[in-house]
Amino acid sequence: MKKSIYLAVLLILTVFVTETSGQKNGAQNPIIYADVPDLSMIRVGETYYMSSTTMHMAPGVPVMKSKDLVNWEMVSYAYQILDDMDAMNLVNGRSTYGRGSWASSIRFHNGMYYISTYAQTTDKTYIYKTKDIERGPWETTSFSPGIHDASLWFDDDGKIYLISGVRKLHIVELKDDLSGVKAGTDRVLIEDANAPLGQNVGLGEGSQLFKVNNKYFLFTIAWPREGMRTVVVHRADKITGPWEGRVALQDQGVAQGGIIDTPDGRWFAYLFQDHGSVGRIPFLVPMKWEDGWPVIGVDGKVPETLDLPASKGLIPGIVNNDEFTRKKGEPALPLVWQWNHNPDNNLWSVTERKGFLRLKTGRLDSLFLKSRNTLTQRTFGPVCLGTTLLDASGMKEGDFAGLTAFQRKFGQVGVKIVNGQKQVFMVSNKTDKPTELQSLPLSQNKVYLKIECDFRDKIDVAKFFYSLDGKTWNVIGGPLKMEYTLMEHFMGYRFGLFNYATKETGGFADFDYFHISDQITN
């Protein structure tokens, strides 16, 4: 009898521990605690592909893949540069911060992958296609007008459409070769996408179209005044309508995106949330079908845990360390890196000094935000740090090089050359006027630099450090209150490696490595 009771208790405990462990080790929201906004997603067989927005960065329109909707890795970009023009090249005083390419739409049709996007910088619509989404090459088609945040759609009758708009949604038919809009096909699809929420409602954009069980579903985002970002869905039997709409989710501002199914028949909505200075972070929300409508959330709420595999972390799939050593045949830069605007490829190298990234100067710049060849990776939450070892022996008078927490209100830690002497410095642009908070004499060529970012509870603070030996770290300057700026930069904070000249050209800075971590000192 005692043995039976013991076995029963043991069984109960085993089930409890297993269930608790499963919950603890399962997927958590947000799925990616980093800036991956405007996500668009498809499933091809058992593999998911997702495109996103990176604005003024190059290369652009990142493509990620996953086998489980949780663990993602970079596999390609739709383009290396968006266009060759002053604003994209950061020349003649022009820039395209907060613009570049915006929300994309990814599709798979007849063995071909397609991504459409819009660029406010050029006011063009771009469509990229490839048979191999992971290796390319990508073929580019562009045309005017620029169709903002559109949903690309290949209909069953062979017609190709773009659906877009803000509040008043339009549909246009594309030419068969995707080279432009067919004349006379632009018409209003939905007069007021925000109507299900009543009056005094903003936005009504971010269209994403799907077809399930012979019905069309069009997802958009609305934003009631004094309210939160909200998912709205419209349904129709024909793509031309008539359409009926309803609110699909209103919780924590998690909105804008679409829906995806798993091979075993489950459904999720993929959406994102504005989350302070780290950026716009993706969520997955369980959904089901009731009376032919998608019902998103658990009792209308976004759950913290999901019945999906646990995340293995964002390293190395989304961000990663780099020793800057390259084997024969390897790309010069892994996909985790993006340049701020188009790079000048004559002024950087990973081969001139083996095991180092060399950033060279070729012009004079008075402002960091106007300088070229800042190499960036995403920051991520809840906390992260980036470190590098800078060799400043090749820098010249008036040069500035180092590590930055990069957004409009940036912070920098690095080395500058003043009157032939090296100084380690920290600059804050919190007030939109770059201000040196501290500088110290540096009597050696090599210095270790570190930035720690704390996004917990949206504290959004970056701290800056230097070290002479890589072991003892010294705080320099002061903390930076990070701030996500809409329209000006329109992306989450990034780590960046930089070097620019203010007095004379021809200098260079060598970076031995870049390391990234999900641990900070406190």
- For residue 3, the model assigns a pLDDT of 37
Cα 55 to Cα 269, 306, 381, 491, 507: the distances in Å are 24, 30, 21, 8, 30
Q: Which residues contact 457 (CB under 8 A, 6 or more apart)?
A: none
Which parts of 153-253 fold into alpha helices (H)?
A: none
**Phi/psi at 167 (5° precision):** 75, -60
- For residue 203, the model assigns a pLDDT of 82
* Helix and strand totals (H; E) in the chain: 2, 38
- For residue 200, the model assigns a pLDDT of 75
Burial of 481 (0-12, 13-18, 19+ CB in 10 A): middle
Which parts of 54-175 fold into alpha helices (H)?
A: 86-89
- For residue 488, the model assigns a pLDDT of 81
- For residue 317, the model assigns a pLDDT of 97
DSSP state of 134: T
- For residue 226, the model assigns a pLDDT of 84
- Structural domains in the chain plus CATH codes: 38-306 (2.115.10.20), 338-517 (2.60.120.200)
> Which 3-state string (H, E, C) describes 245-305?
EEEEECCCCCEEEEEEECCCCCEEEEEEEECHHHCEEEEEEEEEEECCEEEECECCECCCE
Read off the tokens for 355.
Answer: 């095991």
- For residue 279, the model assigns a pLDDT of 97
- For residue 499, the model assigns a pLDDT of 98
From first to last of the 522 residues of the chain, give the pLDDT tens digit.
333 433 343 333 333 333 333 335 799 999 999 999 999 999 999 999 999 999 999 999 999 999 999 999 999 999 999 999 999 999 999 999 999 999 999 999 999 999 999 999 999 999 999 999 999 999 999 999 999 999 999 999 999 999 999 999 999 999 999 999 999 999 999 999 999 998 778 888 999 999 999 999 999 999 998 899 999 999 999 999 999 999 999 999 999 999 999 999 999 999 999 999 999 999 999 999 999 999 999 999 999 999 999 999 999 999 999 999 999 999 999 999 999 999 999 999 999 999 999 999 999 999 999 999 999 999 999 999 999 999 999 999 999 999 999 999 999 999 999 999 999 999 999 988 999 999 999 999 999 999 999 999 999 999 999 999 999 999 999 999 999 988 789 999 999 999 999 999 999 999 999 999 999 987
Q: Single out the residue of 423, 449, 445 nearest to residue 513, CA to CA.
A: 449
> Which 3-state string (H, E, C) describes 419-482?
CCEEEEEEEECCCCCCEEEEEEECCCCEEEEEEEEECHHHCCEEEEEEECCCCCCEECCCCEEC
- For residue 355, the model assigns a pLDDT of 97
- For residue 201, the model assigns a pLDDT of 83
